[in-house]
Structure 1
């Protein structure tokens, strides 16, 4: 039975949904402006396979509103660690999309024993080298987004993120819950997590997934390099955009299931 919970974290009531199960626990982290509903198909699928699955709304998103302070990556990471501790999860798999993937990467980087594996869906590579041009584009991205009228922002973002009508509709719903300043604060948090480190290698099993039609930033160019650097396969989901898990849920679920099935037990690493 699905358990809905509320955690009164400092400055914000965090809402979470806990599907019970005996197999490896999985904690999903959604992207900037999205909420836990983006992982509905994955949560149901993995719960049927016996996994304990936790989805939650990052502070300032979805039902975890209002937040006393603007969104920051540091606070989101503190919330993640607190939620894992509160639920007594034993080295869960961290699975994040977009900003959620950046947060999951940073959590594994800071606390290598926190998670037994890392799943990244359509997210930038935190440790990738950044050229002067890359840094300039990062600085210009936020001002460019701020020029989009607030009333048009949910539609523009949804159309840029998803390919299928259903995924676009859900993205518009989620984006519309945030004010323009709230979304921009969450989007800027991504840039604070990009810290080049050529020698860094992911210390846990890694699964990389991206949509074939993801044109967000340079994910399409850099994820193959990331896969080669870490010595893993990159899974490209045919016909999907930046929200591959919603554009093509069955294909993503198949890849996720195969990856989780092959993981060692928590005590084996």
Structure 2
């Protein structure tokens, strides 16, 4: 694990694989940390890619920024991380909130994007109902901590059948949620409640795009992925069977096969 300073925050990250490999940045969602990507890191580095996985500010080992952190703040941290590593352009991908940070990175730092990977995420702006929900949840996490929330949403983060079928995966996901600092989670929720509409951003993307979704995703169903696919006609859409909101850990073999095929055929141009 390494770290650097972005603005007022120390951000921790892993940088694995060959230093001359194609750089791939993977951004976790809420309320997780960089270890969410462990199966993908192993698969991609074995294939010769350089994989960079940060802990977002407020999550994992990174510093907490209290109050409110906008998606643009997270995206600027990613740009600062690439600057720190001397990486000009990268494949950038994320799941859930991480996918929205990826879209924000495309909006604010488009020249640094080689390709986009959008997993189990959505592009429209937050609704009034969603803003109220996220702000109320932020208040709750600050008052009660993460344990009750984690127990309530585990069968939505994972497909319900995978909570029992994949006990080690469920334990890992629960552990990440429970260990997240409530202040960091609340700040991200308040910022995400004000997220902009990324549909115009997606419609203008010329770089290769991979859209992935679990077939049984509770939060961002297959229909949301299909909506994004219609915005980006050249995008590749993959639906991962037997998975919910986190197909990268629920079905890592299938998820990584799709990701590696996309990188090989759409990004590096190798057949």
TM range (shorter): 0.7 to 0.9
Change (3 A) 1:35 1:235: same
Matched residue, 2:86:
88
CA distance in 2, matches of 1:238, 1:197: 26
4+ residue segments displaced more than 4 Å: 146-149, 196-199
Matched residue, 1:104:
102
More helix by share: 2
Measured after TM superposition, the shift of residue 62 of structure 1 is 0.4
Contact 2:199 2:231 in 1 (8 A): no
Deviates more, 1:232-241 or 1:158-167: 158-167
Q: 1:141 aligns with which of 116, 121, 133?
A: 133
Contact 1:122 1:214 in 2 (8 A): yes
Matched residue, 2:4:
7
| Number of positions where the alignment pairs a residue of Structure 1 with one of Structure 2 | 256
Matched residue, 1:159:
155
Measured after TM superposition, the shift of residue 112 of structure 1 is 1.7
Structure 2 unaligned segments of length 5 or more: list them: none
Contact 2:64 2:181 in 1 (8 A): no
Contact 2:131 2:194 in 1 (8 A): no
Contact 1:11 1:69 in 2 (8 A): no
Matched residue, 1:215:
218
Structure 1 unaligned segments of length 5 or more: list them: none
Residues 143-174 of structure 1, C-alpha deviation per residue, up to 9 Å, x if partnerless?
56355853311222323201333332112111
CA distance in 1, matches of 2:55, 2:187: 16
Change (3 A) 1:57 1:198: closer
Matched residue, 2:177:
175
Residues 173-219 of structure 1, C-alpha deviation per residue, up to 9 Å, x if partnerless?
11112344432322333333331555833231100001111011x44
CA RMSD in angstroms comes to 2.3
Contact 2:71 2:192 in 1 (8 A): yes
TM-score (norm 1): 0.86
CA distance in 2, matches of 1:221, 1:109: 23
Contact 2:59 2:185 in 1 (8 A): no
Contact 2:58 2:183 in 1 (8 A): no
Q: SS at the partner of 1:33?
A: coil
Q: 1:261 aligns with which of 242, 249, 264?
A: 264
Measured after TM superposition, the shift of residue 95 of structure 1 is 1.0
CA distance in 1, matches of 2:77, 2:68: 14
TM-score (norm 2): 0.85
Deviates more, 1:41-50 or 1:70-79: 70-79
What does residue range 34-113 of structure 1 map to in structure 2 within 5 Å? 34-67=32-65, 70-113=68-111
Contact 2:120 2:246 in 1 (8 A): yes
Contact 2:214 2:247 in 1 (8 A): yes
Measured after TM superposition, the shift of residue 139 of structure 1 is 2.7
CA distance in 1, matches of 2:250, 2:148: 22
